[in-house]
Amino acid sequence: MSTTLAPRLKWDLRLFASAAALTLIGAMAMASAGTTVHPTLAVRHAIWIGIGVAACVGIARTDAHRWMDLAAVAYGVSLALLGLVSVAGAMRLGATRWLSVSGLSLQPSEAAKLATTLLLARYLAGQPNPLPMRAVWISLALAGAPALLVFRQPDLGSATVFGAIWLGMAWVGGLSRRAVAGVAGGLLALVPLGWVLLRDYQRDRLLAFVNPHADPLGAGFSVIQSTIAIGAGQWWGRGWWAGTQTHLRFLPERHSDFIFSVIGEEWGFLGGVAVIGLLGVLLLRILRLALRVSTPEWRGVAVGIFCWVAYQAVINLGMVTGLLPVVGVPLPLVSYGGSSMVTLWIALGMLQSVHRTSLE
């Protein structure tokens, strides 16, 4: 049996094992931290995982060519949804990021990340190497449109994810070194303008990064409490359900952006190494896939998903350990967030589909 099925359902075991392990660790942390946020939060998290994994398995069985054709449609739909959010979105945390559909909240920016990746992969695959300037501008515009809508929500962290996806894909797609330098210079020039456009709380967070102890009960509170939580975990952690920073609610956003601090506090260095190590394995497997697939289009998809997961992971870990400013990016597969969880598992399903289609 296994020999006959093997070519059709050949899963990249290490990739899915690491993704599953990360998701499991996240679910365990959610079981502990989630109850301090909402009684049913952990259950909802588990349901989203179920939906995500089911979608992943379903998509993994499809032909990769089929939904590459849908890239433009998916991109258009997600742009429209982002536009809708800015018009009719529900107000939450002072930021409008969710779309409520009959009681379910959807965050279209997550879907937009995947759609943008697909469309960029499609577009860049048809371009010569090195990329001509026209293609650079067009691809930048494709990534920039959803990024701008997300930035206006305002969600600075998610907006920068589009930039990271674009930069990685364009780089692999043949972006000249001169163009890289140009983009880097242009971004630097935008910093003062960006500062003006930022909301007050965003500025406070960036300033708090420079010196968190200037306002220990205000903007610096999150980072201080997060580093205390992680550090207090020491080698083996304080035990599942026994993190005082988590359960006495000193740790803010402990179910979403600061979930790694919960793991660090309750599972110690052991948990930290596990999360970082599993992320490393997952990312390596995605890159390995990028090198093995047969078309530049599919390589682009793998690189885009790599950049998306890698960027969010590094920014999130850097932020909760006090190395980077607090910009509000969830830890992929671990943080709470239905849209993010489902979209990431769909992306993993696509990778498997690409993997399988390439082999056929």
> Among 279, 301, 334, 351, which residue sits at the site for other proteins (rule: CB under 8 A)?
279
Largest CA distance in the chain: 65
Shortest CB 270 distance to other proteins, Å:
9
Residues 287-292: contacts with CB under 8 Å, at least 24 apart: 289/12, 289/15, 289/351, 289/354, 289/355, 290/172, 292/355, 292/358
Of residues 32 and 78, the one with the C-beta less far from other proteins = 32
Provide the mask over 146-185, with x wherever binding to other proteins is found by CB under 8 A and - wherever it is not.
----------------------x--xx-x-----------
The 3 state secondary structure assigned to 17-82 is HHHHHHHHHHHHHHHHHHHHCCCCHHHHHHHHHHHHHHHHHHHHCCCHHHHHCCHHHHHHHHHHHH
Cα distance from N-terminal residue to C-terminal residue, the chain:
19
Which residues sit opposite 92 in a β-bridge?
95
The reply to whether 318 sits near other proteins by the rule CB under 8 A is yes
Stretch that binds other proteins, among 50-58, 143-151, 278-286, 346-354 (CB under 8 A): 278-286
Output the CA torsion sign for 117, 317, 339, 342.
Answer: positive
Chain Cα centroid distance, residue 359: 28
Residue 285 near residue 18, CB atoms below 8 Å: yes
**Cα dihedral angle (15, 319, 307, 60), rounded to 10 degrees?**
40
Cα(306)–Cα(311) distance, rounded to whole angstroms?
Answer: 8
Of residues 211 and 234, the one with the C-beta less far from other proteins = 234
The reply to whether 305 sits near other proteins by the rule CB under 8 A is no
Which residues sit opposite 104 in a β-bridge?
101
> Among 144, 287, 295, 358, which residue sits at the site for other proteins (rule: CB under 8 A)?
287
Stretch that binds other proteins, among 16-24, 195-203, 241-249, 352-360 (CB under 8 A): 241-249
The reply to whether 70 sits near other proteins by the rule CB under 8 A is no
The reply to whether 269 sits near other proteins by the rule CB under 8 A is yes
Of residues 135 and 307, the one with the C-beta less far from other proteins = 307
Shortest CB 262 distance to other proteins, Å:
13
How many binding residues for other proteins (CB under 8 A)?
Answer: 47
Which tokens is 217 given?
A: 């009960």
Of residues 74 and 310, the one with the C-beta less far from other proteins = 310
Stretch that binds other proteins, among 103-111, 119-127, 137-145, 223-231 (CB under 8 A): 223-231
The reply to whether 306 sits near other proteins by the rule CB under 8 A is yes
The reply to whether 35 sits near other proteins by the rule CB under 8 A is no
Of residues 174 and 182, the one with the C-beta less far from other proteins = 174
Closest by CA position to 312, among listed 8, 11, 12, 22: 22
Q: What 3-state class would DSSP assign to 92? A: strand
List contacts with other proteins (CB under 8 A). Answer: 129, 168, 171-172, 174, 217, 225, 227-235, 244-245, 248-250, 264-265, 268-269, 272-273, 276, 279-280, 283-284, 287, 290-291, 299, 303, 306-307, 310, 313-314, 317-318, 321-323
